[in-house]
Chain A
Amino acid sequence: MSNRAQRDETPRRSGNSRRLMLALLPLVGFGVIGWFLYQGLSLKPREIPSVLIDRPVPTFDLPALPGRPPGLASTDLKGEVSLVNVFASWCVTCRVEHPILMRLKQEGIVPIHGLNYKDESEAALGWLKRFGDPYDRVGADKRGRVGIDWGVYGVPESFIVDAEGRIVCKQIGAISEKGLEERLLPAIRAARAGEPVSC
């Protein structure tokens, strides 16, 4: 009996630390996977980042809404930093960001141009009359082809264009107060200062 006890003891010492490591493995695995999943909570996979960042705006020339000149063309977007806002009268979410656009216009923070996307002109004019018109220029993109050139896949979307006519920032979805403070206004300031824009 005592013989067997002595024989069994020797392998156990090196096996102990090995068993400890194996026992900790699920915990470590949990930690690693948990960290990745936690990061995943803040991802937005449905948002498609723009491939037009730092590229010149696509060439286009859109007519104005009837009775509301001027229209919007790519040549108009050179010379100053501006915000191009894709909107439509049928777009409900556009109403959510609209007060922010009106405030930007009233405080003269940045010139705003509208891209009226796949809309009936009469409906668009009625919408602007009813809710307010924050735009300098509005281009009527009835077929949505100019929108496709800008990589638009939903409404509303907004782009910040620098003085050289390059797209430097894209906002997917309605502009929020937080998005304005944290992303768009700093981008506008950087673009105006000629500094690289992080967006």
Chain B
Amino acid sequence: MLRICLLLLSAGLFSVAVLAQTTGPDRPLDDPAAERRAIALHKQLRCLVCQNQSIAESNADLARDLRQLVRERIAAGDSDDAVFAFLVARYGDWVLLKPPFNAATSFLWLGPVALLVLGAIGVVVWYRRLGARPLSVAPLSADEQARLETLIEEDDADEGRNT
């Protein structure tokens, strides 16, 4: 009896959940190779609602719509580039998780490498300068040399006593 009630309850809840979605759940493509391609593309497209997730990961309605849209474009024979171009034409480069390389994004792509190279050059130059700089200590005069030797003797004598 309990099992039947639970079964009916879960069936009821499930149907309500499906009705509540105006989009419906994902409908994978029949061809497994095409579906794999679709999923690969999903992982490279940004969800514009939850902008740090791909549409593969996001639960947003728009993500689901875009997933279906990608599947439709693939089924219609679009290449990967054509699918991306379709979405970029509507949402701009930001829809791609990997920014394209162009004049505007060159700083983004090359910046870290450039900083690393500049930093490395800076370190090398600094170390070279360090070695080349002479120690600016003038030699000791005779008086100072004598004082130094006295101090060293006293220091040695101290150490001998303490041990």
Contacts and interface: CB of A to CB of B under 8 A. Distances in A.
Given A118-B61, A148-B65, A153-B49, A51 B138 contact: no
A46 B51 contact: yes
A153 B48 contact: yes
A148 B51 contact: no
A142 B92 contact: no
Contacts of B94: 48
Interface in B11-31: 22-23
A14 interface: no
B76 to A, nearest CB: 14
A142 B22 contact: yes
A29 interface: no
Contact of A118 (B23, B49, B91, B92): B23
A154 B49 contact: yes
A76 interface: no
A153 B136 CA distance: 68
A126 B136 CA distance: 89
Contacts, number: 47
A148 B23 contact: no
A13 interface: no
Given A7-B138, A11-B136, A148-B69, A48 B61 contact: no
A25 to B, nearest CB: 14
Main SS at interface, chain A: loop
Nearest to B137: A7
Nearest to A154: B49
B89 A3 contact: no
Chain B interface size range: 10 to 19
Interface in A99-118: 118
A118 B22 contact: yes
A68 B67 CA distance: 32
A52 B88 CA distance: 11
Which of A3, A119, A153 lies at the interface centre, i.e. has the most chain B CB atoms within 10 A of its CB? A153
B66 interface: yes
B92 A51 contact: yes
B92 A49 contact: yes
Given A7-B138, A120-B22, A142-B22, A153 B65 contact: no
A92 B106 CA distance: 40
A173 interface: no
Interface of A: 3-4, 7, 11, 46, 48-52, 118-120, 142-145, 148-151, 153-154
Interface of B: 22-23, 48-49, 51, 61-62, 65-66, 69, 88-92, 94, 136, 138, 141
30 contacts: A3-B141, A4-B138, A7-B138, A11-B136, A48-B91, A48-B92, A48-B94, A49-B92, A51-B90, A51-B91, A52-B90, A118-B22, A118-B23, A143-B23, A143-B65, A144-B62, A144-B65, A145-B65, A148-B66, A148-B69, A148-B90, A149-B90, A150-B90, A151-B90, A153-B48, A153-B49, A153-B62, A153-B91, A154-B48, A154-B49
Given A51-B90, A144-B65, 18 more contacts: A3-B141, A4-B138, A48-B94, A51-B92, A118-B23, A118-B61, A142-B22, A143-B23, A143-B65, A148-B65, A148-B66, A148-B69, A149-B90, A153-B49, A153-B91, A154-B48, A154-B49, A154-B62
